[in-house]
Amino acid sequence: KYPYRVTCFLSHFYIFCGLTNAKAAEYLIRDGPNCLTPPPTTPEWVKFCRQLFGGFSILLWTGAILCFLAYAIQAATEDEPAGDNLYLGIVLSVVVIVTGCFSYFQEAKSSKIMESFKNMVPQQALVIREGEKMTINAEEVVAGDLVEVKGGDRIPADLRVVSAHGCKVDNSSLTGESEPQSRSPDCTHDNPLETRNVAFFSTNCVEGTARGIVVCTGDRTVMGRIATLTSGLESGKTPIAKEIEHFIHLITGVAVFLGITFFILAVFLGYSWLEAVIFLIGIIVANVPEGLLATVTVCLTLTAKRMAKKNCLVKNLEAVETLGSTSTICSDKTGTLTQNRMTVAHMWFDNQIHEADTTEDQSGASFDKTSITWGALARVAALCNRAVFKAGQDQLPILKRDTAGDASESALLKCIELSCGSVKQIREKNKKVAEIPFNSTNKYQLSVHETEDPNDNRYLLVMKGAPERILDRCSTIIIQGKEQPMDEEMKESFQNAYMELGGLGERVLGFCHLLMPEDQYPKGFAFDCDDVNFTTENLCFVGLMSMIDPPRAAVPDAVGKCRSAGIKVIMVTGDHPITAKAIAKGVGIISEGNETVEDIASRLNIPVSQVNPRDAKACVIHGTDLKDLSQDQMDDILRNHTEIVFARTSPQQKLIIVEGCQRLVSHTDTHTLTHTHGAIVAVTGDGVNDSPALKKADIGVAMGISGSDVSKQAADMILLDDNFASIVTGVEEGRLIFDNLKKSIAYTLTSNIPEITPFLLFIIVNIPLPLGTITILCIDLGTDMVPAISLAYEAAESDIMKRQPRNPTRDKLVNERLISIAYGQIGMIQALGGFFSYFVILAENGFLPSILVGIRLNWDDRSCNDLEDSYGQQWTYEQRKIVEFTCHTAFFVSIVVVQWADVIICKTRRNSVFQQGMKNKILIFGLFEETALAAFLSYTPGMDVALRMFPLKPSWWFCAVPYSVLIFVYDEIRKLLIRRNPGGWVERETYY
Amino acid sequence: MASNEDKPAVKEEENAGSWKDAIFNPRTGEFCGRTAKSWGLILLFYLVFYAFLAGMFVLTIWVMLMTLDDYVPRYRDRVPHPGLVIRPKELDMLINRSQPVQYTRYVQTLESFLQQYNDTEQERNEVCTAGDYFDQEGEVGEPKKACQFKRSSLSRCSGLSDSTFGFAEGRPCVLLKMNRIIGLKPRGEPYVNCTAKRDTPVQMQYFPSEGRFDKMYFPYYGNKLHERYVQPLVAVKLLLNKEDYNTELTIECRIEGSDLRNNDDRDKFLGRVTFRVTVVE
């Protein structure tokens, strides 16, 4: 139990003297330093191993191990084992290790940026020990210490306040409330989070001073408990990791199926068991797309970099895509949706509500400033105000300047400074002679000033405070500069304005003044503020001003974009329901025209219980109500309301809400046996109170500027500019990379078929091997790389922000249709293109297709040096091997040629290439690069020895061109049919 | 909006099911996730698609074959020099003099190989002028004549006088032949020279004399035009003595005296051949 109720048995002596140094040292040893235990960081080598053995790498490792196994079998059974399997195994291992290192360093870079966020300056605390004030390191504060805090300090530990002078703390990082809370020694609530007499570790003291006894330090503080709650949560796999897993299953299925089929065939064809096993392994390994791991990693990295440029820093590469799959965003209010800065939003004077400009760049509407009443109101607001700008900020725009003082007074200060010029001058002209600061019993603040007019010796009394209290003290009201008696009509008008502004979730203050009659209060009158010796009644009401933490300018647009992208935006905040609802309406989370149950009830004038909850699309749920909801009711709310605001929520409740959202889709599947993924939920937040939810979410998005360290640690992504609108960029990039990865994978997988079929035909019909291991690697790790990566730069085919988020159960990264297209259709055409050039080369050198079938046994026999071709010529082993390797080279070049067409058709999945255009410069570069690389490999002197690749005659480059054209034409027709018959058979069977 | 959300849920319900349903779902009649009609359509599609591809492939191959010459391959740059091979086709010969069963297979190979060189057969061929290329002009597709190479010219290695080709006496004959290459005209006077890889030389006898490949057997015009062509042979008789028995003799034969390559690093059979002979008493 939290020891917030420290009974006051403490003597006065203690309150002045604090702990003895010896005791403090003893407690420090007992409790440990006053700091949060950092979450157990994963050691670097574990992170590295995760990169090495995670996800896709497993597939390649398996391939490598199979290769070594095959080589071992060959080495044990043959005299001169072919080195192919050994090389392949080594290359596979190298590929995994290199890409592993690459992504490890990529993520290390992100985490370095993370480190830079950490505040390295050690916090100091002012403690009283043995009656002496001393400044010590905040880490050395122990339970029982007497601590003094003043405005601007960070609270060093959880404090039980014993004395306070106008102390206010900003709890927003803990609870999400944007308004500062006053702190006093009185225990006002059972809940430690609600009571007035506890100040929490790592929150800020905004103003005033307080003295408190440390009740908890380090991990035992409220903040520490939330941080511990966070580290206890397991975050699930990212959607892209699940997709890659699914892809591996598919690819392994195909590989094993092919392998087993041809194993059985090989045995039937009379190969020995060992040979058949080698074939089996060969086929399985040939199915492994060696280059894909690198391609996927590079694509994700490129996107991560692009997002970082747009202020989305991604901590985990795989999280790049997650925002794209997101179907629900649970957003914190303060700081994310709002500016986290109180600003004057409305004023009421001359019996009229005026709107103030709340935008960050002062681009909003203005109001009539010529009214005399406004002048009076501005004067009261400027004078009855203790806030001042901090020094040395003259060159900064007014709204950016730092102020000392209460948030609402600062708001008033900035408002007046903006519209009436220097407040400092106003104050200098009207010297303050007396002041009663705000206190909770009076609920007002007043001050008495000299007037601007040196001839006028009257004093000006200005007062501001809770509107109803101010009204009570007024007998007149100023309208259009003229004082009028406060009649019932005016009072009602005041009430309406007050209700309306309050209903907007704004904090309303009333202002009044009085020019004191000179006869009663002559110049030099001694105003006594403790024992009030002057009138505070029968004042003249001036007006109301209301303040709110206004939404950021870009947020409504961003929310709108999310909505049109089919993403539900839910607000989860620790703030009050009314404020939350007002902001929700302001940013469009509750869209115009949508009503909550309460709205309907008040409109129809019926009790809330009579309203059909289904009629209300929007709802605002209070944290205390949330407590009583069952899981089913919770799901019901989440399902049936499209616009939801949760207010007054605790960190645990945020967690429950996130879990509820994640359950949303899968709920209907619970009666079946299959395990399906739920909705993908993004959570944004900056406070410590958000961090458990950030961790639990599929993607947690923390704020880079205002976010607490704990929240940044828990998050997967950080918005460097704290702007919710950056999330939209993330969604867009995430969706784009998902589409483009599909294309990239379709492209890379296609060349698998022309790589496998040569080996299969070699086994089945005993032809000389058309394509060797080295050339396969040259394709996978050489020529295919740049074009595959270039597809990551491909522009979207349609407005990706106008469609629904993908359904994780149905819209897979790699599905059967993609395999069917890549393997069954395009791959087959490619294989034929390769075989055609193979047959051409052999035929032109004398080996016609008719004699090739079955020739393999003699062909590969080293002792047969007079193998006869179709023309009667005889070939030595080496001579015909050169022809064979020339065939490998030609097959390789043919694959490059057909991959030209493939990369062009992979640019789009639905549109014609003619609609899409060839604007992707990287792709065009890729086309030239792969061609140049192929030419280089074929023509460079020495390649015949190094890679056993031989120069091709120019005509052989063109063998595969007809097949390349066929691929292009075939796919254009297919896409035309898809566009012509939406939902037709072609789309159902081939749209991937 | 609410109705939108319900739709996918219903779909998933259909998709979901136990693994048994995944193979055959009796409710929908789906086998492996497809109905019979769906299977039929996709199989039909692939049938038509592959039939088309096969057609296209055959067509391109046919077009390619049309462009080829019937008698001479388009490119001969991969076989610029002939290989040298031996008969019997065995690079490791173990000959046990006293056990005829052991060496008969060599004898049989040689015998059947020499059938086409039988004098009766060869007398139907031209008698050509020794020392000159047998160039034959003529229309395209006109059959070419072949020069005779009589078996008897191999004399002691012809198998005529000694039907065991010297195997029985422990002095085996090995036939050497040069690979046929269309249009090959070796310059100079190519002859075979064999050496044993040991300090003391081994006596050898060549047939025809000096182990010459006569120029009249060149050029070769390909198996369609030059149907009766036979390659010239050189027989080497290893004149082994008792002291040479029971040891492995490594013998290397090269074509010398011409422009034909016999020292390629990679190809050990280009203009040369190395074999090992062990004779056991």
Q: Report yes or no on B119 lying in a domain.
A: yes
Q: Report yes or no on B211 lying in a domain.
A: yes
Nearest CA in chain B to A847: B73
Mutate one of A806, A842, A866 to test the B interface: name it (highest B CB count within 10 A): A866
Backbone angles phi, psi at A614, to 5 degrees: -70, -20
Please tell me the distance in Å from A853's CA to the nearest CA on chain B. 15
The minimal CB distance from A844 to the residues B15, B46, B73 is found for B73
Q: Which residues of A are catalytic?
A: 332
The pLDDT, as a whole number, for residue A7 is 45
pLDDT, tens digit, for every residue of B64-81? 999 999 999 999 999 999
Going from the C-alpha of B86 to that of each of A196, A842, B92, B93, B108, the distances in angstroms are 107, 26, 11, 11, 15
Which residues in chain A have Cβ-Cβ distances shorter than 8 Å to B62? none
Question: Comparing A354 with A206, which gets the higher pLDDT?
Answer: A354
pLDDT, tens digit, for every residue of B108-150? 999 999 999 999 989 999 898 888 899 988 888 889 999 999 9
Output DSSP code: residue A731. Answer: H
Nearest CA in chain A to B18: A673
Q: At A673, is the pLDDT very low, low, confident or very high (cuts 50, 70, 90)? A: very low
**List of residues 6+ apart from B271 with CB closer than 8 A:** B81, B82, B83, B84, B254, B255, B260, B261, B262, B263, B264
Strands (E), A132-195: 132-137, 146-150, 158-170, 181-183
The mean-pLDDT minimum among A374-378, A818-822, A911-915 falls in A374-378
Across the interface, whether the CB atoms of B182 and A849 are under 8 A apart is answered no
> Is the pLDDT at B6 greater than 70, yes or no?
no
A832 interface with B at CB cutoff 8 Å? yes
The pLDDT, as a whole number, for residue A928 is 96
> Is the pLDDT at B264 greater than 70, yes or no?
yes
Shared domain check, B38 and B116: no
Cα-Cα end-to-end distance for chain A: 56
Which residues in chain A have Cβ-Cβ distances shorter than 8 Å to B223? 871-872
Q: At A665, is the pLDDT very low, low, confident or very high (cuts 50, 70, 90)? A: low
Nearest CA in chain A to B60: A836
- Which tokens belong to B94? 């173990």
**List of residues 6+ apart from A591 with CB closer than 8 A:** A563, A618, A643
Mutate one of A823, A874, A956 to test the B interface: name it (highest B CB count within 10 A): A874
Q: Is A702 left (phi over 0), alpha (psi -120 to 50) or beta?
A: beta
Sheet architecture: strand order including B84-87: B84-87, B173-178, B233-239, B203-207
Output the 3-class SS for A921-978: HHHHHHHHHHHHHHHHHHHCCCHHHHCCCCCCCHHHHHCCHHHHHHHHHHHHHHHHHH
User: Would you say the C-alpha torsion A389, A392, A398, A403 has a positive or negative sign?
Assistant: negative
Which residues in chain B have Cβ-Cβ distances shorter than 8 Å to A636? none
Across the interface, whether the CB atoms of B73 and A642 are under 8 A apart is answered no
Cα-Cα end-to-end distance for chain B: 100
Shared domain check, B193 and B108: yes
CA atoms of A727 and A715, how far apart (whole Å): 14
Collapsing DSSP to helix, strand or coil, B132 comes out as: coil
Which residues in chain A have Cβ-Cβ distances shorter than 8 Å to B229? 872
Cα A352–A453–A409 angle (5° rounding)?
50
Which residues in chain A have Cβ-Cβ distances shorter than 8 Å to B224? 871-872
The mean-pLDDT minimum among A598-602, A796-800, A934-938 falls in A598-602
The pLDDT, as a whole number, for residue A13 is 52
The pLDDT, as a whole number, for residue B10 is 39
Across the interface, whether the CB atoms of B49 and A825 are under 8 A apart is answered yes
B37, B66, B95 - which closes a domain: B66
pLDDT, tens digit, for every residue of A6-47? 444 454 456 667 788 888 888 888 888 888 777 677 788 888
The minimal CB distance from A876 to the residues B74, B91, B267 is found for B267
The DSSP bridge pattern shows strands A717-719 and A699-703 to be parallel
- Which helix (DSSP H) or strand (DSSP E) does residue A231 occupy? helix A222-231
pLDDT, tens digit, for every residue of A606-664? 888 888 877 788 888 888 888 788 888 888 888 888 889 998 888 788 888 898 888 87
Are residues A653 and A622 in contact, defined by beta-carbon separation less than 8 angstroms?
no
Block residue for tokens 């933490």: A549
Mutate one of A876, A883, A948, A967 to test the B interface: name it (highest B CB count within 10 A): A876
Looking at the structure of chain B, the number of domains it has is 2
The minimal CB distance from B75 to the residues A828, A844, A876 is found for A844
> Is the pLDDT at A674 greater than 80, yes or no?
no
Q: Report yes or no on B238 lying in a domain.
A: yes
Nearest CA in chain B to A956: B64
Shared domain check, B129 and B98: yes
pLDDT, tens digit, for every residue of A405-415? 777 888 888 88
Across the interface, whether the CB atoms of A874 and B83 are under 8 A apart is answered yes
CATH number of the domain within which B228 lies: 2.60.40.1660
Which residues in chain A have Cβ-Cβ distances shorter than 8 Å to B9? 665, 668-669
B34, B66, B98 - which closes a domain: B66
Output DSSP code: residue A343. Answer: E
The minimal CB distance from B12 to the residues A809, A966, A989 is found for A809
pLDDT, tens digit, for every residue of A625-634? 887 888 888 8
Which residues in chain B have Cβ-Cβ distances shorter than 8 Å to A668? 9-10, 12-13
pLDDT, tens digit, for every residue of B82-112? 999 998 888 898 888 888 888 899 999 999 9
Is the N-terminal amide bond of B82 cis, ω within 30° of 0?
no
CA atoms of B269 and A621, how far apart (whole Å): 90
The pLDDT, as a whole number, for residue A951 is 95
Collapsing DSSP to helix, strand or coil, A461 comes out as: strand
A878 interface with B at CB cutoff 8 Å? yes
> Is the pLDDT at A452 greater than 50, yes or no?
yes
The minimal CB distance from B46 to the residues A824, A869, A874 is found for A824
The mean-pLDDT minimum among A131-145, A184-198, B256-270 falls in A184-198
- Average pLDDT score over chain A: 86
Q: At A754, is the pLDDT very low, low, confident or very high (cuts 50, 70, 90)? A: very high
Shared domain check, B217 and B109: yes
The mean-pLDDT minimum among A773-777, A820-824, A843-847 falls in A773-777
CA atoms of A394 and A396, how far apart (whole Å): 6
> Is the pLDDT at B214 greater than 50, yes or no?
yes
Which residues in chain B have Cβ-Cβ distances shorter than 8 Å to A874? 82-83, 85, 179-181
Shared domain check, B99 and B50: no
The pLDDT, as a whole number, for residue B236 is 94
Which residues in chain B have Cβ-Cβ distances shorter than 8 Å to A845? 73-76, 78
Shared domain check, B155 and B57: no
A-B interface: how many C-beta pairs under 8 angstroms?
Answer: 150
CA atoms of B271 and A46, how far apart (whole Å): 61
Average pLDDT over residues A46-60: 83
Instruction: Give A268-292 as a DSSP string.
Output: HTT--HHHHHHHHHHHHHHTS-TTH
Query: Considering only CA atoms, which of A860, A865, A863, A864 is closest in space to residue A876?
Result: A865
The minimal CB distance from A844 to the residues B53, B74, B180 is found for B74
CA atoms of B179 and B171, how far apart (whole Å): 26
Please tell me the distance in Å from A293's CA to the nearest CA on chain B. 30
Is the N-terminal amide bond of A770 cis, ω within 30° of 0?
no
Instruction: Give A782-818 as a DSSP string.
Output: IITHHHHHHGGGPPPSS-GGGSPPP-TTT--SS-HHH
Query: Considering only CA atoms, which of A560, A557, A581 is closest in space to residue A571?
Result: A581
Which residues in chain B have Cβ-Cβ distances shorter than 8 Å to A985? 41
Across the interface, whether the CB atoms of A876 and B270 are under 8 A apart is answered yes
> Is the pLDDT at A862 greater than 80, yes or no?
yes
Which residues in chain A have Cβ-Cβ distances shorter than 8 Å to B10? 668
Across the interface, whether the CB atoms of A989 and B45 are under 8 A apart is answered yes
The pLDDT, as a whole number, for residue A441 is 73
Query: How deeply is B64 buried, as exposed, middle or buried, from its count of CB atoms within 10 A (0-12, 13-18, 19+)?
Result: middle
CA atoms of B274 and B255, how far apart (whole Å): 12
The pLDDT, as a whole number, for residue A16 is 65
Query: How deeply is A625 buried, as exposed, middle or buried, from its count of CB atoms within 10 A (0-12, 13-18, 19+)?
Result: middle
CA atoms of A778 and A930, how far apart (whole Å): 10
Collapsing DSSP to helix, strand or coil, B97 comes out as: coil
Q: Report yes or no on B9 lying in a domain.
A: no
Give percent of chain A with pLDDT exceeding 70. Answer: 95
Instruction: Give A569-636 as a DSSP string.
Output: EEEE-SS-HHHHHHHHHHHTSS-TT---HHHHHHHHT--GGGS-GGG-SEEEEEHHHHHH--HHHHHH
Q: Report yes or no on B71 lying in a domain.
A: no
The minimal CB distance from A873 to the residues B10, B49, B181 is found for B181
> Is the pLDDT at A666 greater than 60, yes or no?
no
Q: At A221, is the pLDDT very low, low, confident or very high (cuts 50, 70, 90)? A: confident
Nearest CA in chain A to B181: A873
Domain span holding position B33: 23-66
Question: Comparing B24 with A430, which gets the higher pLDDT?
Answer: A430
The minimal CB distance from B61 to the residues A639, A836, A989 is found for A836
CA atoms of A518 and A490, how far apart (whole Å): 29
Average pLDDT over residues A515-543: 85
Please tell me the distance in Å from B91's CA to the nearest CA on chain A. 8
Shared domain check, B234 and B113: yes
The pLDDT, as a whole number, for residue B5 is 37
The minimal CB distance from B266 to the residues A843, A869, A878 is found for A878
- Helix, strand, coil proportions of chain B in percent (round to 5)? 30, 25, 45
Nearest CA in chain B to A817: B42
Q: Is A102 left (phi over 0), alpha (psi -120 to 50) or beta?
A: alpha
> Is the pLDDT at A870 greater than 60, yes or no?
yes
Please tell me the distance in Å from A831's CA to the nearest CA on chain B. 11
Average pLDDT over residues A681-702: 87
Nearest CA in chain B to A677: B12
Shared domain check, B235 and B204: yes
The pLDDT, as a whole number, for residue A15 is 61
> Is the pLDDT at A774 greater than 70, yes or no?
yes
Give percent of chain A with pLDDT exceeding 90. Answer: 29
Please tell me the distance in Å from B44's CA to the nearest CA on chain A. 13
Average pLDDT over residues A734-741: 92
A591 interface with B at CB cutoff 8 Å? no
Shared domain check, B160 and B55: no
- Which helix (DSSP H) or strand (DSSP E) does residue A565 occupy? none
Going from the C-alpha of A769 to that of each of A395, A831, A885, B104, the distances in angstroms are 77, 14, 9, 36
> Is the pLDDT at B2 greater than 70, yes or no?
no
Q: Report yes or no on B91 lying in a domain.
A: yes
User: Would you say the C-alpha torsion A912, A918, A919, A920 has a positive or negative sign?
Assistant: positive
Across the interface, whether the CB atoms of A953 and B75 are under 8 A apart is answered yes
The pLDDT, as a whole number, for residue A438 is 78
Q: Report yes or no on B222 lying in a domain.
A: yes
Across the interface, whether the CB atoms of A966 and B56 are under 8 A apart is answered yes
Q: Across the strands, what pairs with A699? A: A682
Average pLDDT over residues A79-86: 81
> Is the pLDDT at A701 greater than 80, yes or no?
yes
Shared domain check, B58 and B28: yes
CA atoms of B56 and B234, how far apart (whole Å): 49
Q: Report yes or no on B90 lying in a domain.
A: yes
Shared domain check, B49 and B186: no
Going from the C-alpha of B46 to that of each of A35, B52, B53, B75, B183, the distances in angstroms are 67, 10, 10, 38, 48
ipTM of the complex: 0.91
Shared domain check, B95 and B42: no
